[in-house]
Amino acid sequence: LEGKALDTLSQLKEKAALPFDFIFIDADKPNNPKYLKWALHFSKKGTVIIADNVVRNGAVLHDSDEDERVQGTREFFDLLKQEPRIEATAIQTVGEKGYDGFVYGIVK
């Protein structure tokens, strides 16, 4: 499949794709909540879901930050908190790009 991920995911659904064991969410931060919903659709018990770049130098903690990537990440965390099908934790990393991190989740 080729094209924007949010467009191709519905095509993948139509092709009756089998559940995935591992799903990595990255790049399009404003749409991370939508990707999480799709990831859960394509998951099964034990599927690992990783979402990258979720700390964003601490910006996700500042309610006043209006960056759409930060807002998408916050919405992603809110969805994770409400979603009973996944256990998840955020892990902060520090490197040459500064403070960042990822979410590690396992579908129940």
- CATH number of the domain residue 98 falls in: 3.40.50.150
For the chain, what is the domain count? 1
Give the phi and the psi of residue 62 in degrees, each rounded to 5. -100, 105
Let me know if residue 101 belongs to a domain: yes
Let me know if residue 65 belongs to a domain: yes
Mean pLDDT over the full length of the chain:
91
30 pLDDT exceeds 90? yes
> What domain range is 101 assigned to?
22-107
Radius of gyration of the chain (CA): 14
What pLDDT is stored for residue 61 in this prediction? 86
The answer to whether the beta carbons of residues 40 and 65 sit under 8 Å apart is no
Let me know if residue 26 belongs to a domain: yes
What pLDDT is stored for residue 18 in this prediction? 80
What pLDDT is stored for residue 16 in this prediction? 66
Let me know if residue 11 belongs to a domain: no
Give the phi and the psi of residue 37 in degrees, each rounded to 5. -60, -45
Tens-place pLDDT, residues 38-86: 999 999 999 999 999 999 888 888 888 899 999 999 999 999 999 999 9
What pLDDT is stored for residue 15 in this prediction? 77
Let me know if residue 48 belongs to a domain: yes
Query: CA quadruple 70, 75, 81, 85: dihedral positive or negative?
Result: negative
